[in-house]
């Protein structure tokens, strides 16, 4: 079956590989020349992923039946609506349903309206006067976010990136003064450990994927600026070392209730959904809901998916998937991203990066190209994450070891890696933190 894929990052490369394993004939659209996607595509087009008319023309030219859209920006632009208008069935939410990610106030208001568990104290503003009045009334530290899309880099937390009233108000003013941010949302600061629960959604039902923990901070020790994600890990039992089955079920109940609420609102959701939660002393609380796979989390779950991914894509688009039809291998994964130096602040783009693909495969790991360009047979860094390397093993320790061996087959003078992701001492810190929080 012919399928259109949109996006040129590591998440999309992982999805393309899963589709290729399922026998799909791939026609790819992306803004950068991702060599991994190009290698699997029957045909491809380099174009901005929000260029709706050009993408629809490409889909018509190649007579594709289904589409998988990876990034959030084309969802916000209405790409799914346009593709479905020309008869292409999409395993992704339309513009109205994608508001669960593209508008943080829509998500919070929806959860509040339907009295879904896991919500937190919040308020949204489109002017500085009201925002400052609210800010002055707060007695505990808060989190400041743009309401709209920021690529995972717009969150600032008091006590971490923000210190004091003046610094917080300065950031609020920056958000309100920037076009496309949609206003500002101020939320209570949660204490606990973050985890990601992704699910496949067909408009009515959810089917869970293994739990994953992402690492947003740029530097080892979980310090530095927020990024789109430096790496992530999953465990062989599909939980996490600090998350119980009970806590996971509560997170799944929240996602299921969100899907039901969206149906009731007249904007049914189809496609992968990403729930980011904070495990607190009061159970899982919602940090955000994303209308897609996570990146890098997709690289943890898709390589160990035993089920036919093409069938899943078709099922989500058609509104027909069954929970017992989706299976993942009982193995652990550790993903570490090779990124350009300065990523998170001033990334060093345009530098050559070299990779020994066979060496990585022989080491028992997998790799996925991200924001790179292949020019005259050479690979160059872009402004975002370059290559995701995924170790797979019976335990997190084994998966992390394989990931580290595989990283030795990538060279570049202007790249760096967070080597602490998946290390046992880092995971033990998280286990201890939750234990102390709950006692």
What's the chain look like in SS3? Answer: CEEEEECCCHHHHHHHHHHHHCCCEEEEEECCCCHHHHHHEEEEEECCCCCHHHHHHHHHHCCCCEEEECCCHHHHHCHHHHHHHCCCEECCCCCCCCHHHHCHHHHHHHHHHCCCCCCCCEEEECCHHHHHHHHHCCCCCEEEEECCCCCCCCCEEECCCECHHHHHHHHHHHHHCCCCCCCEEEEECCCCEEEEEEEEEECCCEEECCCEEEEEEEECCCEEEEEEEEEEEECCCCCECCECHHHHHHHHHHHHHHHHHHHHCCCCCEEEEEEEEEEECCEEEEEEEECCCCCCHHHHHHHHECCCHHHHHHHHHHCCCCHHHCCECCCEEEEEEEEECCCCCCCCCCCEEEECHHHHHHCCEEEEECCEEEECCEEEECCCCCEEEEEEECCHHHHHHHHHHHHCCEECCCEECCCCCCCHHHHHHHHHHHHHHHC
User: pTM for this structure?
Assistant: 0.95
Q: What is the pLDDT of residue 179?
A: 82
Which residues in the chain come in under a pLDDT of 50?
Answer: none
- The pLDDT, as a whole number, for residue 329 is 98
pLDDT of residue 81: 98
So what's the pLDDT on residue 152?
A: 65
């Amino acid at each position: 079956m012919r399928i259109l894929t949109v996006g040129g990052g590591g998440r999309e490369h992982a999805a393309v590989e899963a589709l290729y394993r399922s026998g799909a004939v791939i026609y790819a659209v992306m803004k950068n020349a991702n060599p991994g996607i190009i290698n699997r595509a029957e045909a491809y087009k380099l174009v901005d992923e929000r260029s709706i008319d050009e993408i629809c023309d490409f889909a018509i030219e190649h007579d594709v039946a289904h589409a998988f859209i990876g990034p959030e920006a084309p969802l916000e632009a209405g790409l799914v609506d346009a593709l479905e208008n020309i008869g292409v069935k999409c395993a992704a939410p339309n513009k109205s349903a994608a508001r669960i990610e593209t508008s943080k106030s829509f998500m919070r208001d929806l959860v509040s309206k339907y009295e879904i568990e896991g919500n937190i104290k919040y308020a949204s503003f489109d002017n500085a006067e009201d925002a400052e009045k609210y800010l002055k009334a707060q007695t505990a530290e808060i989190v400041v976010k743009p309401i709209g899309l920021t690529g995972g880099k717009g969150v600032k937390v008091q006590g971490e990136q923000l210190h004091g009233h003046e610094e917080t108000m300065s950031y609020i003013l920056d958000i309100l003064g920037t076009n496309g941010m949609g206003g500002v949302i101020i939320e209570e600061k949660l204490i606990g450990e973050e985890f990601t629960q992704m699910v496949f959604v067909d408009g009515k039902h959810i089917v869970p994927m293994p739990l994953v923990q992402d690492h947003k901070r740029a530097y080892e020790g979980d310090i530095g600026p927020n990024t789109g994600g430096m790496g992530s890990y999953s465990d062989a039992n599909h939980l996490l070392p600090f998350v119980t089955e009970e806590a996971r079920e509560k997170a799944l109940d929240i996602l299921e209730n969100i899907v039901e609420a969206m149906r009731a609102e007249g904007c049914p959701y189809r496609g992968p959904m990403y729930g980011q939660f904070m495990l607190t002393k009061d159970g899982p609380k919602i940090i955000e809901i994303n209308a897609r796979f996570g990146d890098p989390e997709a690289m943890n779950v898709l390589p160990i998916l035993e089920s036919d991914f093409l069938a899943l894509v078709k099922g989500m688009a058609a509104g027909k998937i069954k929970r017992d039809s989706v299976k993942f291998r009982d193995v652990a994964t550790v993903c570490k991203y090779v990124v350009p130096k300065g990523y998170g602040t001033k990334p060093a783009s345009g530098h050559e990066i070299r990779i020994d693909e066979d060496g990585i495969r022989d080491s028992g790991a997998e790799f996925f190209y991200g924001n790179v360009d292949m020019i005259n047979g050479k690979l160059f860094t872009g402004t975002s994450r370059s290559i995701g390397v995924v170790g797979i093993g019976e335990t997190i320790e084994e998966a992390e070891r394989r990931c580290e061996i595989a990283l030795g087959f990538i060279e570049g003078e202007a790249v760096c890696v967070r080597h602490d992701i998946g290390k046992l001492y880092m995971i033990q810190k998280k286990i201890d933190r939750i234990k102390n929080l709950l006692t």
